[in-house]
Structure 1
Amino acid sequence: MVAFGKKLRQSQIQEWQGYYINYKLMKKKVKRYTQQIQVGTQDRHNVLKDFSRLLDSQIEKIVLFLLEQQGLLASRLSNLGEQYDVLIQHPDEAKVTELQEAYRAVGRDLLRLLFFVEMNAIGLRKILKKFDKRFGYKFADYYVKTRANHPYSQLQQVFKHVGIGAVVGAISRNLADLQDLQDNHGSYVSIYDQPAYSHPVYSQIHQDPVVHSIRAAVERLSNSTSFLHFLGTHAFTMQDELPTPSEEQDDDQRYHFMSLLLNLANTFLYMVNTYIIVPTADNYSLTLGAAATVCGVVIGSMAVAQVFSSVYFSAWSNRSYMKPLVFSSIVLLVGNTLYALAYDLDSIAVLLIGRLFCGLGSARAVNRRYISDCVPLKLRMQASAGFVSASALGMAVGPALACLFQTDFKIYKFTFNQETLPGWIMALAWLVYLLWLSISFREPPDRTKESVVPQESTSGQFVNVSVDNGFTQPLLINSETKQEDEDEDGDGDEDCDDAEEDSDKIQKPVNSIVSAYRLLTPSVKVQLLIYFMLKYAMEILLAESSVITGYYFIWSTSSVAIFLACLGLTVLPVNIIVGSYISNIFEERQVLLASEIMVCIGIVLSFHILIPYTVPQYVGSALITFVSAEVLEGVNLSLLSRVMSSRLSRGTYNGGLLSTEAGTLARVIADGTITLSGYLGESKLLNTTLVPALFICISSIVATCFTYNSLY
């Protein structure tokens, strides 16, 4: 693997060489500081002061050049605008085409500038991480905090590329207007008259390779989110590379719409299977002679098995997709049948075994992996959003179905009532799904084996911006923003101390959970803690809802089911609001911290202290907790994907598996807490289960504050 310093030199735009970050100089400085501190000729305070001054001067050089280039682009656009005004008065098709090409030329130069910004942003991130690793400081935290939030911040110009949006808007609008002028012979329809992507002319202009390239580059640089992007991050379909043209062609060959639909159907049915028993699990436990709070074990046994199933399904998906999905369906069919038969067998053991089987059939690791590996990049965000939507819909449909099963009859020796019907219905659903799967699923050709190490371009260099032939190449073949092992940065010069690491070691996926854990930085650990916390809080709320509402409010099964279904239905509307508006106004780390605080408030409001416990208090606090946790999940996984090592984007022990295991473990512990707390009596169940939830929530807030300035 070519080191970053060498890549930076090889990929620089020649005429701009003097304006790039001097990564080599700063590496030498870091080496010299290390030697000086060791021999005692320099103290740490002066090192921090000197390195801060060096970084400030480097950033100022970059920003002043960036502003100068923006001014040149703005001047060219202004001149083109004058030509456009003349053309409006005297339309000429030949001149329209000529002016369109002139705007595209400005767009191509803007792409070069975006490439310049991205290279420098990567260099800044890497040198800050290298400094922290060498000296054991939190220098990056200090530097970003003091510079990024200052009213005269120049760091914001690099990471937020202030002002470029106006240039992008001018190019996009004028190209759209010229296309409209050409197509409609002078009848003007502004792109601002309708929302983005709904306007037909705007949709056409985004097919222009220049505008398409600019839009992709700006989104990647700014991490801007729309509803689709925000929702898609919930799926956490990690990838460490931007694909090459050949890889995109391979994606197109592997893609099969019906197979993707079956994959999403599996996701939906599994979530229905998870939550369909929640309203009746306490009554089922009582019927079989156990305490109502044993519902925690009944619900949680599925999560216990999922801790293990996630690993072997993730490994299996390295070789096949259809086989694990078939196995999953069969195991779930058996598990739900056992769950239903436990009533007639009068056996709590059979009930628990049935739920364990359901957990062993969890193929969510396969569902995520299929989207990452087999869906083309241009459709991957939509597919990821579909994955999340299917999960949310399943969460709402499960309890809603439970409230419909108000019947009681027998066929031969089998009982069909509100306790057993969830098992029978899901067994039938998985049987139908299995038949559909065997008929319609297509295994993608040439499955990528885990042992195959993905290669860079033949030169190992960054790909230059290209907009020829309507195809957009990525600005970078391999994103360097998330590599935390910074020793790879040696630039190959004799005076640089960092040895080059073996490329296979850097690119090869980790092969054990221990190796994966060693790659977790403090920021990643905090994000996993947050994910654990939100899943714990949600599981406590959902799993004990039937017991709590039965004890305090004497709710029927139908009432509990409707309540849970309504909670589930809030997922998509809330994500629309956050993804379309809030995340475009506030930084993700701000939304993250605010959501954590709201979850904490929801938990505090749930406690039963002195005054009588009322329905408004319970429903209101539950709504605050659940909605805040849903918002938190989106921004948490989005930040996690950025701070997690690129080596965790592939293979069995990938980032998706780690987040799944964290969430599943949270559910297991939460369900166990409910059952253990039941021994104290139902009157103390609520407060007893909320105490650990509150403790974990406060801990995550404190941890977030300590790593807040590293989330950039």
Structure 2
Amino acid sequence: MKDGCIRQKVETITNSRVGKRMFDMFVNTIVLCLSFYINYKLMKKKVNQYARQIEVSEHNREYVLKDFSRVLDSQIEKTVLFLLEQEGRLASRLSVLGEQHDALVQHDAAAMIPELQESYRVVGEELLKLLHFVELNAIGLRKILKKFDKRFGYKFTNHYVKTRASHPYSQLKQVFKHVGISAVVGTLSRHLADLKDHQGTYISIYDQPALSLLDPTIESIKAAVDRLSNTTDFLQYIGKHALIPEEEPTTTADNDVDERYHFMSLLLNLVNTFLYMVNTYIIVPTADSYSLSLGAAATTCGAVIGSMAVAQVFSSVYFSAWSNKSYLKPLIFSSIVLFIGNTLYALAYDLNSIHVLFIGRVFCGLGSARAVNRRYISDCVPIKMRMKASAGFVSASALGMACGPALAALFQTDRTIFWITLNENTLPGWVMALAWLVYLLWLCISFREPCNDNKLNPPTRRETSNGLENGALENSVSELLIEKQNDGHNDEDNEDDDEEFNNNEEAEESHQPVTSIVSAYKLLTPSVKVQLLIYFMLKYAMEVLLAESSVITSYYFIWSSGKVASFLACLGLTVLPVNVLVGSYLSNVFEERQVLLAAEIMVCIGIIFSFQVIIPYSVPQYVCSALLTFVAAEVLEGVNLSLLSRVMSSRLKRGTYNGGLLSTEAGTLARVVADGAITLAGYGGMNKLLNATLLPSLLICISSIVATCYTYNSLY
């Protein structure tokens, strides 16, 4: 393929999806060192050849694994040797500049500082190109492994990663972990910081004061390094919980989003998120006593709590679709429905009707607008603020989860105003009804509906890449940028060999959002399915723990509703500290898949420790097991969603049926099943309730651990 043809085809891709700056960087790198990229076309051709061989004889499978491993080793070695050569070249240039730097400092030649700074930035731009070179090859490797597994039953990735990733001489680590580049980044950062020191505005990459700024060149390099190695800080880590795409900026798209952004509207979305989580958990401490007061069994609390989740299964879908056209209207509808739902929930006591109680909670579930909240951040918040907004979304949820039971603990009164009873059972409904009424008025006054010009066709704006891995480059790069020159001629036979395989992948290569739940399901690889199973498991375990807490503690320890509420509030307050620990430390010291498996095991231990056995059930046993289960589940949720955002198809990162909706549906379904299990187990007697609800949780947890081990190496 000629350089001119490459430039023309790359320009077509980058002008529409990546932008002019990325185009210049990629073209220069591609044209100069094209032969050092992995030969994606060769490896895809090999996959087709192996398919024919295995069809002839099953004995060829071992040969296929060994031969393709050899091909991959050769391709990776070529890339790594070039990478090391370029690292040495950059290190040599930095060494020369360092001598000039020392001489400048000794002679106090301030006039030469700008020139030396520019020289360092030129090296920085070269380093940035090298990082993109590494990233493109990493994308190509992930893609060819995924294609091989898809063709042959998900066997090769496990074999290859297991034998290469942990080897002391692993070249695979050089591609995915860029071991030597970090030292170059540190040297470059230190010298630029030293030159900027007299201005007092820029700092080294080693320093992290909140109000200081990195040199723009170093900031770009650091972002590329973090993206390639999945390094996170607390803000990035907790922001990933929202499963909101973090896209590379393009001039046109960024300008469109800037015009749509309105701070008060964002704040109203976050308040909606907070209030809804308060609404969900404020009734948990008193749901059993409310059920008893209406003549139902205490374990009916499971059905009362779960009825909200049942309705949320459906509301998540129509709110996600509605947010394609508007944000204000679904938020208004949500507030009205929640006001009605909470009013009915509170009136059920004076009407003495368990049916009104259920209807009220169903209305509350129908008002779940979390899909709108998530979509507003994705569509209308500028890229530079999106991670903070995503972290705000997750923090608002965590804070609401803690504040709900805490507020319930304050409602220790019993009085009647006119014919309305105000007590610990009804006050959660009245307080939330008032809160939603105030919110509705604030919403109508302050929310600004974004302009609708680009709203009807969001994919054009969303097709920018997520760190080059999602969107255009995930598939187009594999066909164009990573393809080696083919000795100056086209092989018609090779194209025929690839034709069938390419046709089968047309749907996968498309970047249009999926349009149905069936299409979304077809894009779920085993890794994604396992992550969704894990999410189901952890939500099930947490819902059993929280929803039956008032019944269990009342039966075994005679706790009051206020004491239960305080306990649940303390559990909720652990969410943010746990995420600080994981996001700032654990996820950077250990691989996320290691943390994932360890957290699953800890959840399993917590569940096992929760069972009532021969000895009397004690408060220390309950509190310790509940704390272990809850904290481990919180750790698990963070790494699970982070991994899910990486392994799922780019087509599931936008549109109505996105990854956020799928995870929400999985979690909501888990809550429905858990709350239903609590109600059903109550018919067997209170003495059997605890073990009867924990047993399914334990079985699901063990199943998820086994499934994680099965797909462990595909999470590399």
Does the CA-based 8 Å contact 1:456-1:477 persist in structure 2? no
Does the CA-based 8 Å contact 2:203-2:214 persist in structure 1? no
1:111/1:570 CA distance change after superposition, 3 Å: same
Match of 1:703 among 688, 692, 707: 707
**For residues 236-635 of structure 1, what are the structure 2 equivalents within 5 Å?**
236-238=243-245, 242-446=248-452, 448-449=454-455, 453-454=459-460, 478=471, 480-481=473-474, 494=492, 495-496=494-495, 497-498=498-499, 499=502, 506-635=510-639
The AA in structure 1 aligned to 2:101 is Y
Does the CA-based 8 Å contact 1:336-1:354 persist in structure 2? yes
The AA in structure 2 aligned to 1:345 is L
Q: Secondary structure at the match of 1:610?
A: coil
**For residues 33-182 of structure 1, what are the structure 2 equivalents within 5 Å?**
33-38=50-55, 43-182=60-199
**For residues 663-674 of structure 1, what are the structure 2 equivalents within 5 Å?**
663-674=667-678
1:486/1:594 CA distance change after superposition, 3 Å: farther
Which deviates the most, 76-85 or 688-697?
A: 76-85
Instruction: State how far apart, in whole Å, the 1-side matches of 2:232 and 2:429 are.
Output: 40
Does the CA-based 8 Å contact 2:260-2:381 persist in structure 1? yes
Which deviates the most, 42-51 or 611-620?
A: 42-51
**What is the deviation of 1:493?**
6.8
Identity of aligned residues (%): 70
Q: Secondary structure at the match of 1:415?
A: strand
Q: Secondary structure at the match of 1:279?
A: helix
**What is the deviation of 1:32?**
2.6
The answer to whether structure 1 residue 223 and structure 2 residue 216 are counterparts is no
1:255/1:688 CA distance change after superposition, 3 Å: same
The AA in structure 1 aligned to 2:87 is Q
Partner of 1:470: none
**What is the deviation of 1:88?**
2.1
TM-score by length of 2: 0.91
**What is the deviation of 1:452?**
5.4
Which deviates the most, 392-401 or 447-456?
A: 447-456
Does the CA-based 8 Å contact 1:482-1:646 persist in structure 2? no
**What is the deviation of 1:83?**
1.8
**What is the deviation of 1:107?**
0.2
Q: Please list the CA deviations of residues 668-689 of structure 1 after superposition, one character each: whole Å capped at 9, or x if unmatched.
A: 0000000001011111111111
Aligned length: 687
- Report the RMSD for the aligned CA atoms in angstroms: 2.9
Q: Secondary structure at the match of 1:403?
A: helix
1:137/1:643 CA distance change after superposition, 3 Å: closer
Instruction: State how far apart, in whole Å, the 1-side matches of 2:713 and 2:475 are.
Output: 16
**What is the deviation of 1:197?**
3.8
Does the CA-based 8 Å contact 2:117-2:192 persist in structure 1? yes
Does the CA-based 8 Å contact 1:303-1:668 persist in structure 2? yes
**What is the deviation of 1:265?**
0.0
Q: Considering fraction of residues, name the structure with more helix.
A: 2
The answer to whether structure 1 residue 204 and structure 2 residue 213 are counterparts is yes
Match of 2:646 among 625, 634, 642: 642
Q: Please list the CA deviations of residues 288-313 of structure 1 after superposition, one character each: whole Å capped at 9, or x if unmatched.
A: 00000000011110000000000100
**What is the deviation of 1:364?**
0.6
Q: Please list the CA deviations of residues 35-69 of structure 1 after superposition, one character each: whole Å capped at 9, or x if unmatched.
A: 34445698222222111111101111111111111
Instruction: State how far apart, in whole Å, the 1-side matches of 2:324 and 2:79 are.
Output: 43
Instruction: State how far apart, in whole Å, the 1-side matches of 2:245 and 2:199 are.
Output: 42
Instruction: State how far apart, in whole Å, the 2-side matches of 1:40 and 1:129 are.
Output: 23
Does the CA-based 8 Å contact 1:483-1:645 persist in structure 2? no
**What is the deviation of 1:242?**
3.1
The AA in structure 2 aligned to 1:70 is E
1:569/1:196 CA distance change after superposition, 3 Å: same
Instruction: State how far apart, in whole Å, the 1-side matches of 2:137 and 2:662 are.
Output: 31
Does the CA-based 8 Å contact 1:453-1:504 persist in structure 2? no
1:287/1:488 CA distance change after superposition, 3 Å: farther
Q: Please list the CA deviations of residues 130-189 of structure 1 after superposition, one character each: whole Å capped at 9, or x if unmatched.
A: 2222333511121011101111110010011111111111112211111003559xxxx9
The AA in structure 1 aligned to 2:428 is P
Instruction: State how far apart, in whole Å, the 2-side matches of 1:663 and 1:488 are.
Output: 39
Instruction: State how far apart, in whole Å, the 1-side matches of 2:385 and 2:482 are.
Output: 34
1:525/1:450 CA distance change after superposition, 3 Å: farther
Does the CA-based 8 Å contact 1:225-1:580 persist in structure 2? yes
**What is the deviation of 1:545?**
0.3
